[in-house]
Amino acid sequence: MPAPVTEFELIATLKSHLPLTAAVVHGAGDDCAVLAPPAPGHELLFKTDAIVEGIHFLPETDPQKIGHKALARCLSDIAAMGGTATAAVITLALPAAPEGERIEGIYRGIRKLAERHGVAVVGGETTTNPGRLLINVALLGTVRTGRAVLRRGARAGDAIFVSGELGGSIHGHHLDFEPRLAEGRWLAETGCVHAMIDVSDGVAGDLPHLLQAGETPLGAELLKSAIPIRRAAREAARASDTAKPSVVAALTDGEDFELLFTVAPRDAVPVLDGWKAKFPGVPLTCIGKVVDRPGLWLRGEDGLRPMIGKGYEHFR
């Protein structure tokens, strides 16, 4: 077994490897980090998210993948606002005798992703949490003034798009997904997107957030044959008689971390064509339309039926 380390040994080791950027005036080591203000014409974004051992990852999960996921979840939310991530602080709640090698591995995963997206890690906190590991990330970002894409804004008749593929994320995708930051910024700059969210709890769980965010509750009709189903979800459905049908898994499994958004019908083709030209390696699919009656509906060969199944809920 690797030897445990003290809190201050751990902090000293981690601090020496934190990624910094030009936005950092003073990084980790003081009571607060000191950051340069956002550039003129930009607004701040602020997000926090946590992952917990036994819920979001297992004790035997590769530490670098744990670190990747901890930061990537927050980055995905910045992407859904059309923003650019800038600086993060990390809180580690550790078992009483943390293994330095495991924690360093987690930070390697954080650092690799942070450096890829130009994010500074400027400090945080360490504490104990007997029995399981918890990692919380608080993340700052920026977005051009007036360009942040909110959840509210969907309109009846809007086309509904989703990036990537859906379902079966438990088979690996939830640990190594790439947050759609460049794609989110591009969508925001088009000025065409009415509402957007990242898919963390499944389309069936997250699409209603868009539909209910405005003054008038809306609904959606989804085309069953258009749902982009991840191979892992299809294979799971074929391998077991008790598994959810692949289309239901695609809409309810969660932890896809794709972008889900709506645009006016007149903008659907230009957005799709522009996306294909800009991001040829990332699928974009129109999966349905917003309607003026509440509820989720799935259109298949047997006609239009209410959507069966819900997204992930922590307290269900």
Q: Could you tell me which of 246, 155, 224 has the C-alpha nearest to residue 192?
A: 155
Among 114, 144, 174, the domain boundary falls at 144
Residue 236 shares a structural domain with residue 173: yes
Among 109, 144, 179, the domain boundary falls at 144
> Domain for residue 221, yes or no?
yes
The residue range of the domain holding 40 is 7-144
> Domain for residue 153, yes or no?
no
Cβ neighbours, 10 Å, residue 289 = 19
Strands 295-300 and 219-223: parallel
Among 119, 144, 169, the domain boundary falls at 144
Phi-psi region of 191 (alpha: psi -120 to 50; beta: other; left: phi over 0): left
pLDDT score of 310 more than 80:
no
Integer angstrom CA distances of residue 103 from 62, 91, 184? 11, 12, 31
> Domain for residue 239, yes or no?
yes
C-alpha span between 292 and 194 (Å, rounded): 15
Residue 167 shares a structural domain with residue 261: yes
Which percentage of the chain shows pLDDT scores above 70? 90
> Domain for residue 154, yes or no?
no
Query: Between 217 and 158, where is the model more confident?
Result: 158
> Domain for residue 315, yes or no?
no
Residue 200 shares a structural domain with residue 107: no
| Predicted pLDDT at 237 | 83
Cβ neighbours, 10 Å, residue 92 = 23
Which percentage of the chain shows pLDDT scores above 90? 72
Residue 286 shares a structural domain with residue 194: yes
Residue 110 shares a structural domain with residue 179: no
Residues 263, 267, 268, 272: is their CA dihedral positive or negative?
negative
Residue 180 shares a structural domain with residue 107: no
Residue 140 shares a structural domain with residue 168: no
Of 25-34, 101-110, 131-140, 184-193, the least confident: 25-34
Residue 68 shares a structural domain with residue 171: no
| Predicted pLDDT at 19 | 81
Question: Of all helices (H) and strands (E), which one includes residue 114?
Answer: helix 100-116
Tell me the pLDDT tens digit for each residue of 199-233.
Answer: 999 999 999 999 998 888 899 999 999 999 999 99
Q: What is the CATH number of the domain that holds 106?
A: 3.30.1330.10
Tell me the pLDDT tens digit for each residue of 255-309.
Answer: 999 999 999 999 999 999 999 999 999 999 999 999 999 999 999 888 989 987 6
Q: Could you tell me which of 24, 188, 45, 256 has the C-alpha nearest to residue 118?
A: 24
pLDDT score of 185 more than 70:
yes
Residues 6+ apart with CB under 8 A from 243: 236, 237, 249
pLDDT band at 30 (very low <50, low <70, confident <90, very high): confident
Residue 235 shares a structural domain with residue 288: yes
Q: What is the CATH number of the domain that holds 167?
A: 3.90.650.10
> Domain for residue 272, yes or no?
yes
Residue 231 shares a structural domain with residue 183: yes
Residues 6+ apart with CB under 8 A from 35: 23, 24, 25, 86, 87, 120, 122, 140
Beta bridge partners of 34: 26
Question: Of all helices (H) and strands (E), which one includes residue 261?
Answer: strand 259-263
Report pTM. 0.92
Residue 101 shares a structural domain with residue 177: no
Residue 103 shares a structural domain with residue 130: yes
Tokens standing for residue 191: 């000025």
Rounded to 10°, the helix 181-190/265-278 angle is 140
pLDDT band at 1 (very low <50, low <70, confident <90, very high): very low
The structural domain count of the chain equals 2
Q: Could you tell me which of 80, 311, 314, 315 has the C-alpha nearest to residue 205?
A: 311
Strands 219-223 and 34-35: unpaired
